Amino acid sequence: MHKVVMTAIALVAALSGSAFAKGDAAAGRTKAATVCLVCHGGAGVSSNAEWPSLAGQGNAYLVKQMKAFRDGTRSDPLMTPMAKPLSDVEIDNLAAFYASQPAAWSAAAAVAGQRATLNAYDAPELDTRSRPAASPTSVAHVPISPSDVVKVRPHPTRQYWADRLPEGEGRSTIVQKCQLCHDLQRTLAFARPKEQWQHIVESMIRRGAPMTADEIPVMVNYFTRYFGPESPAILSPGGLLEVGMKPCKRSDWPKGSSNFRSQWASPYNIWVSGQQGGTIDIVDPVKKNIVSRITCVSAPDRIEFSRDGSIAYAPDRVEHNVTVIDTRTGAIKAKIPLIDRPNTAVLSRDFSKLYVGIWPLRGDEDKRGYVQVVDTAQLKVIKTIEVKGGIHDTWMSADGSLLLAMSPPGLFMDLFDTRTDQKLWTCCTEAEIGTMNMEAGADGSTSRIFFSYGGYPGVVAIDPKTGKELTRVPLPIDTEGPSKGIRHQPPTSKGFGFHGGEISADGKDYWVTAGSYVYRYRLPSLQPVGDVHLAQVDQAGNPFTPAVEGSWLTISPDGGKVYAVRPGRNLLSEIDARTMQEVALIPTGEYPLHISLWPRGTP
């Protein structure tokens, strides 16, 4: 691939070519979510310099290039197999969608104030335009807290992870194809049986990974040989086991100790799920440090707590179970087997049931998923609810009467009556959903549901009785505050949607996170308050931009602090809600994807 200079600003539709588009932009959005999102982003905003941003490009240009890739007049090892199955109608629809999106800029160009240089598949011609001068993108970050538990280091390079792969047939393909969206460590952190590797490859193809039919068995065989249940351990130069990790034997589960809580100095603490490192880190908000660590949970998701906080429930994405932990001692009490890969779980308001979203990592993840109901007294699954797509998030209403379950691959959200576990309605099929929250009215019943659409930079509100949309409010960019006038980098989360959100305990604020930014709205007006620019550094304080950025947040019980995990950076950010500023950066274990407050759990 040759480098091509790309410059663009958002112009009127006529200048971008979208005014003359003959495709269906809405249909193009849906197709893009299944074919193009992985490399080009949900709204055509590329997450890094390996692939061009398509947002705002001219319609005719996009049609011409996609047809060239499909018909073979242009060739690229990634684009050619992706474009070959596209029909003329699908190409027209995709071009109409991307041409209608606002143009975006690479992070490098925003920082340097220079023209963006991107690899653009050796494009023979490119729709180029001028752009305004750039402004700064970040402020000086606060000091990173010292850690007694985490060995702080600069974020490993992609080559570092590639070097962990043994030589063998398929290695070069995996290095090329599996680093398109994330570090190889995310791919190879855990050992899996051949059947699981087959399902994972099928799922990645469905999401747009450009693999040929001949490459699939070669890759699966490589994964199984070197990262299977019986494969020898692969250690880093420092002797660390960072890839090919295997579940603990039952005899190795933590037995716990009477002084497990001895370093807890606050009435609440923050449980951080290190999803690629097999740890749960417990952070004390006063000490701003990890005070306890739980191991033998391979890939923990969001953690829930019993009524008195003595029991923690951690869904495990790799072991396909819910790990039950005694929070008084740190001992693992049980592991409850599930039908397939869990994501988040939520407790009923009487704490008797745990509703677990199941997202099978398979090629048909957009058609099949489940919600499994766990009896917390018996510690076993008592019901399985089948739905039409893998479930990422579950959420419970404040009064406990309603359960939300949303499916990113299935492009829907279901609402259930918890008295009967019967579905009341399905909604929100426009695009992939990032996450959702339920606002309580004065009587405790649900007044509105808020969520995020991939491709829309803001909050969508719907009526809980009907699932019908009420309003959309854009993200509060460039409002008054310490970050006023500081340019936003293009998001490296899914499109423009946010991935984590929470309503404060007093119901007056709604906080969401997308990319390296945290946004605040006032309730019930949904009036934008402002945004917080989080430090764009790694654990060592070095400037760093991960392939994927932005995940979960939670709010302290008094509403004074907001905590956001930074999975691509292995950091936890603390935000002062009064000043709207980041005030602490706390190192965590590998890939801190989710966060919970003990003893409260999901609000």
Residue 154 is encoded by which pair of tokens?
């600069």
Q: Band the pLDDT of 183: cuts 50, 70, 90.
A: confident
Predicted confidence (pLDDT) per residue in 439-464, tens digit: 999 999 999 999 998 878 889 999 99
Assess whether pLDDT exceeds 70 at residue 4.
no
Q: CA–CA separation, 573 vs 587, rounded Å?
A: 9
Percent of the chain with pLDDT over 90: 57
Q: CA–CA separation, 243 vs 235, rounded Å?
A: 8
C-alpha distances (whole Å) from 264 to each of 149, 287, 327 are: 15, 9, 12
By the 10 Å C-beta count (0-12 exposed, 13-18 middle, 19+ buried), 506 is classed as exposed
Tell me, what's the pLDDT at 184? 85
Q: What is the mean pLDDT of the chain?
A: 84
Element (H, E) at 110: helix 107-112
Percent of the chain with pLDDT over 70: 84
Q: Band the pLDDT of 194: cuts 50, 70, 90.
A: very high
Assess whether pLDDT exceeds 90 at residue 9.
no
Q: Band the pLDDT of 438: cuts 50, 70, 90.
A: very high
Contact 278, 263 (CB under 8 A): no
Q: Over 204-245, what HEC string results?
A: HHHCCCCCCCCHHHHHHHHHHHHCCCCCCCEECCCCCEEECE
CATH of domain 3-119: 1.10.760.10
Q: CA–CA separation, 95 vs 29, rounded Å?
A: 10
Tell me, what's the pLDDT at 482? 56
More confident residue, 396 or 127: 396
Tell me, what's the pLDDT at 321? 98
Tell me, what's the pLDDT at 71? 87
pTM of the predicted model as reported, rounded to 2 decimal places: 0.81
- Lowest mean per-residue pLDDT among 113-127, 315-329, 585-599: 113-127
What residue spans define the domains of the chain?
3-119, 165-235
Residues counted in the chain = 603
Q: Does the fold of domain 165-235 match that of domain 3-119?
A: yes
Q: Band the pLDDT of 594: cuts 50, 70, 90.
A: very high
Q: Give the DSSP letter of residue 142.
A: P
Task: Let me know the angle formed at the C-alpha of 560 by 554 and 566, rounded to the nearest 5 degrees.
Answer: 35
The stretch 237-262 carries a mean pLDDT of: 93
Predicted confidence (pLDDT) per residue in 555-591, tens digit: 999 999 999 999 989 999 999 999 999 999 999 999 9
Tell me, what's the pLDDT at 475? 81
End-to-end Cα spacing for the chain: 49
Q: Band the pLDDT of 123: cuts 50, 70, 90.
A: very low
Q: Are strands 571-576 and 561-566 parallel, antiparallel or unpaired?
A: antiparallel
Q: Which ranges in 391-516 belong to alpha helices (H)?
A: none
Closest alpha carbon to 353 in 451, 420, 291, 294: 420
Q: CA–CA separation, 345 vs 358, rounded Å?
A: 9
Tell me, what's the pLDDT at 124? 33
Contact 390, 360 (CB under 8 A): yes
By the 10 Å C-beta count (0-12 exposed, 13-18 middle, 19+ buried), 290 is classed as buried
Contact 426, 468 (CB under 8 A): no
The stretch 404-421 carries a mean pLDDT of: 96
The stretch 421-427 carries a mean pLDDT of: 96
Name residue 143's beta-bridge partners.
none
Predicted confidence (pLDDT) per residue in 45-92, tens digit: 765 545 677 888 888 888 988 898 898 888 775 677 678 888 999 889
Q: Band the pLDDT of 328: cuts 50, 70, 90.
A: very high
Tell me, what's the pLDDT at 218? 95
**Counts for the chain of helices (H) and strands (E), in that order:** 12, 32
- Class at the top of the CATH hierarchy for domain 165-235: mainly alpha
Q: Over 143-206, what HEC string results?
A: CECCCCCCCCCCCCCHHHHHCCCCCCCCHHHHHHHCCCCCCHHHHHCECCCHHHHHHHHHHHHH
Predicted confidence (pLDDT) per residue in 475-506, tens digit: 876 555 555 655 555 444 445 567 899 999 99
Residue 390 is encoded by which pair of tokens?
């893998």
Residue 213 is encoded by which pair of tokens?
């039919």
**Phi, psi torsion values for 203, nearest 5 degrees:** -65, -40
